[in-house]
Amino acid sequence: MQKMESRGVESPSLWEKALKLIGPEKGVVHLATAAVLNAVWDLWAKQEGKPVWKLLVDMDPRTLVSCIDFRYITDVLTEEDALEILQKGQVGKKEREKQMLAQGYPAYTTSCAWLGYSDDTLKQLCAQALKDGWTRFKVKVGADLQGDVRRCQIIRDMIGPEKTLMMDANQRWDVPEAVEWMSKLAKFKPLWIEEPTSPDDILGHAAISKALVPLGIGIATGEQCHNRVIFKQLLQAKALQFLQIDSCRLGSVNENLSVLLMAKKFEIPVCPHAGGVGLCELVQHLIIFDYISVSASLKNRMCEYVDHLHEHFKYPVMIQRASYMPPKDPGYSTEMKEESVKKHQYPDGEVWKKLLAAQEN
């Protein structure tokens, strides 16, 4: 810190000013914070000889509260509120932990209905998912209304009326367009529409929610939420019915703890975002902890599963009966295989050499 001798106070350095300009608590700075602090949690859990979810479950409530930054959210969640929630979560905790170890945490699949898949591919993947025991399916929508109607009809016909269907627009629409489009897809009985508009538009999500909830369609969002403040406002505005934390977008386990507790206070189910690039491996710890120590409920709760790239991790997720089985290896489950790191290292890894050679040609 540079001293301002004339005033006798500290002034921020140019570096600190630069960080504030590209933050605070958002963007590249926040992503880097998540990376560093997630690594710290990984080391802590390995030192204790526990997976991260078990490290959290075994923590005293006061220790957990000490890990949370309550700045900017005390109008919704105070330290006293958090402590009360966690203390109540002690009741029945051992039984819920046994349940998780035996049955796992419910998951849903995103892998069979990406945009761009042909109808035949969609049918083939959906049939295989049903054979594998999946009962919750998410379909991407938003590129073409008639195409969405056709694809959703195929999926609903295949999975039947009793299984759960969700939709994901990946921020495609303006607010009125989202309401109009989803009103025409409501006949397929989706549990939610995910990211119907800009993830920064809290009031837009609230308007869409107000219009679609009477149709039985909830709003899900969160994978692009910058920080706990955005989640706080989404909850305050009644702008979502399903909250989707992300293990790397927020500032690691610490900030996710605050969001899990706010969701509990508002009684909004948490259904994490997870992709097949290590996010599944990370977020499984958070959602298992949430059930055991915070929410104590599985109603309308499930965790996303995408089946890509798990082969690069030493401790990949274990899915049984369409559920995440709690990891037992110490740490945060995202240690990559040495050969995968070497192969993908820039610019000398095998993958990059091929790409760069192709560009030159």
Position 275 scores a pLDDT of 86
The residues near 341 (Cβ < 8 Å, ≥ 6 apart) are: none
Domains with residue ranges and CATH for the chain: 93-340 (3.20.20.120)
Query: Burial level of 146, CB count in 10 A (0-12/13-18/19+)?
Result: exposed
d(CA 101, CA 113): 30
How far apart are alpha carbons 12 and 22 in whole angstroms? 15
Q: How many CB atoms lie under 10 A from the CB of residue 165?
A: 21
pLDDT mean for each 10 residues of the chain (361 residues): 43 76 85 96 98 98 98 98 98 98 98 93 97 97 97 97 98 98 98 97 98 98 96 98 97 98 98 93 98 98 95 96 98 96 94 92 78
pLDDT digits (tens, 9 = 90+) for 222-274: 999 999 999 999 999 999 999 999 999 999 999 999 999 999 999 999 999 99
140 among known catalytic residues: yes
Spatial distance between the Cα atoms of 273 and 222, rounded to a whole number of angstroms = 8
The residue from 50, 54, 273, 285 that is catalytic is 273
pLDDT for res 14:
83
Q: Residue 11's pLDDT is what?
A: 67
Q: Which residues contact 39 (CB under 8 A, 6 or more apart)?
A: none
Cis peptide before 330 (omega within 30 of 0): no
Residue-wise pLDDT for 135-180, tens only, equals 999 999 999 999 999 999 999 999 999 999 999 999 999 999 999 9
DSSP string for residues in 243-258: E---TTTSSHHHHHHH
Name the pTM for this structure.
0.93
Q: Is 130 exposed, middle or buried (0-12, 13-18, 19+ CB in 10 A)?
A: middle
> Contacts for 115-123 with beta carbons within 8 Å, 24 or more apart?
115/140, 115/141, 115/142, 115/143, 119/150, 119/151, 119/154, 122/151, 122/154, 122/155, 123/154, 123/158
| Catalytic site includes residue 310 | no
Q: What is the DSSP string of 71-88?
A: TTTTTT--HHHHHHHHHH
Alpha helices by DSSP H, the chain: 14-21, 27-48, 52-58, 61-66, 79-88, 93-103, 119-131, 145-159, 175-185, 202-212, 228-236, 252-266, 279-289, 338-344, 350-360
- Which member of 30, 54, 138, 140 is catalytic? 140
